[in-house]
Amino acid sequence: MDNIYQKLNKKLDTLTTQADTRHGNNTSTDTSTSKFQTRIINLTNVKFTKEHIKILSLGPNYAMEKEPKHYINELIIDTETAIRQLEPKIQDTYRHLAAKQIRHIMTTNRQNTLHKRYQHNMNELKKMLRNNNLTITKAVKSKAIVIINKNNLEEKVDNFIQENYIKQINKDPTDKYQKQIQQTIHKCDLLIDKQGQKYLMNIKPTAPKLNVYIKTHKENQPIRPVKNNTQAPSYKIAKHLNIKLSHLICLPHTYNKKTHRK
C-alpha cells in the first residue's frame, strides 16, 4: 500500500512541476529560499517529506473534510428537516431535486483519490511524530508552526518555572476558590440580581492549563506561557465585572502616549 501512495505522490509532483513550467511559474517548496514568512520551523533533526510539510503548512486548525459516506445520512436528515419547513405543495418537488443531488454525491468519485491521499499522509505524519517523540506548537510573533522534541519542550518549561521562582502546591485550590466565589456572588444582591447569579458561575470549573509558544526569534528559543482561563472559577464573574466597570468608570489610558508632529 505504501508503494502505491509513493508512486502516486511522485506522479502528482511531476505533473505539478510540468504545469508550473508550462505557465512560466517558478515555484519552490524550499522554505529557506522563499520570500514569504517561514511557516514551518523544525528544531529537530528529523526530516519531513514535501507532503508532510504541505499538511503542516495548513495550520493547526485545519480539519480534513469527511468522505461522503460518513456524512450522507446526516445530510439526508437535515435536508428532510429543511423541506418540511416549506409549503406542502412544493415539498415533493424539492424532495425530488434533493434526492437527485444526493445520488450524484454518492456516485461521484472526484474527491475520493485526493481524500485518501491526504488521509494517508496525515496518518504517516502522526506516526512519524509519535515514533520520534515530537510535538507541534506555535511560534511567537508569527503564524509559524514549530516542531520540537517533547523532552526539550519539557526542559524549557522547567527552566521557565525555576527562573520565575514558581512553586508547586500539594493540593488543587479550584474547589476552594469556587466556594468562595459562590458565597461572594450570593452576597452581592445589589450588584447582581438573583436570577443572573447562576449564570456567572462555572458549573464544573478546572484549573487553567498551561500552553506554551516558542520564541524562535530569541536565543535558545525560550517559551512564552499562555493560559486558557475560560474554565476557571472566576472567569465569568471577572468578565461580567469588567463590562460593568467599563460603563461606570472612565479609566485613563495610562499606557498610551500621544506623539506631536513637528
What's the confidence (pLDDT) of residue 31?
A: 40
Q: Is the pLDDT of residue 112 over 70?
A: no
Report angle CA 42, 46, 52 to the nearest 5 degrees.
75
CA distance 119 to 113: 10
What's the confidence (pLDDT) of residue 75?
A: 82
Would you say residue 197 lies in a domain?
A: yes
User: What are the pLDDT digits (tens) for 54-90?
Assistant: 888 887 777 776 666 667 788 888 888 999 998 988 9
What's the confidence (pLDDT) of residue 11?
A: 66
Q: Is the pLDDT of residue 110 over 80?
A: no
Of 107, 131, 159, which marks where a domain is finished?
Answer: 107
- 94 compared with 71, residue with greater pLDDT: 94
149-178 core/surface letters (b: 16 or more CB in 10 A; e: else): beeebeebeeebeeeeeeeeeeeeebeeeb
Would you say residue 253 lies in a domain?
A: no
Q: Which domain holds residue 232?
A: 169-247
Q: Give the helix/strand (H/E) hosting 225.
A: strand 223-228
What's the confidence (pLDDT) of residue 192?
A: 81
Would you say residue 128 lies in a domain?
A: no
What's the confidence (pLDDT) of residue 73?
A: 81
Task: Identify the sign of the CA torsion 49, 54, 59, 62.
Answer: negative
- From the list 71, 51, 62, the residue with the least C-alpha distance to 114 is 51
CA distance 112 to 117: 9
Q: Is the pLDDT of residue 24 over 50?
A: no
The Cβ of residue 114 has, within 10 Å, a number of other Cβ atoms equal to 11
Q: Is the pLDDT of residue 20 over 60?
A: no
The Cβ of residue 221 has, within 10 Å, a number of other Cβ atoms equal to 18
What's the confidence (pLDDT) of residue 15?
A: 65
- From the list 126, 203, 210, the residue with the least C-alpha distance to 166 is 210
CA distance 36 to 132: 29
Q: Is the pLDDT of residue 23 over 50?
A: no
Would you say residue 204 lies in a domain?
A: yes
Number of domains in the chain: 2
- From the list 156, 172, 162, the residue with the least C-alpha distance to 212 is 156
Top-ranked range on mean pLDDT: pick from 5-9, 172-176, 251-255: 172-176
**Hey, is 149 helix, strand or coil?**
strand
User: What are the pLDDT digits (tens) for 218-244?
Assistant: 888 899 999 888 889 989 988 888 888
- Set of cell numbers at residue 16: 505539478
Say if CB 135 and CB 146 are below 8 A apart. no
Say if CB 148 and CB 207 are below 8 A apart. no
Stretch among 22-26, 98-102, 221-225 having the lowest mean pLDDT? 22-26
What's the confidence (pLDDT) of residue 255?
A: 65
Quote the pTM value: 0.60
User: What are the pLDDT digits (tens) for 174-220?
Assistant: 999 999 998 888 888 777 888 788 888 888 899 888 889 999 888 88
User: What are the pLDDT digits (tens) for 33-49?
Assistant: 445 567 888 999 999 88
**154 phi-psi bin (left φ>0, alpha ψ -120 to 50, beta other):** alpha
CA distance 13 to 19: 10
Would you say residue 215 lies in a domain?
A: yes
What's the confidence (pLDDT) of residue 30?
A: 43
Would you say residue 225 lies in a domain?
A: yes
* Count of residues in the chain: 262
Would you say residue 230 lies in a domain?
A: yes
What's the confidence (pLDDT) of residue 134?
A: 93
User: What are the pLDDT digits (tens) for 114-141?
Assistant: 777 888 888 899 999 999 999 999 998 8
Report angle CA 217, 222, 223 to the nearest 5 degrees.
105
Q: Is the pLDDT of residue 25 over 50?
A: no
CA–CA distances in Å: residue 239 to residues 199, 252, 253: 12, 20, 20
Would you say residue 163 lies in a domain?
A: no
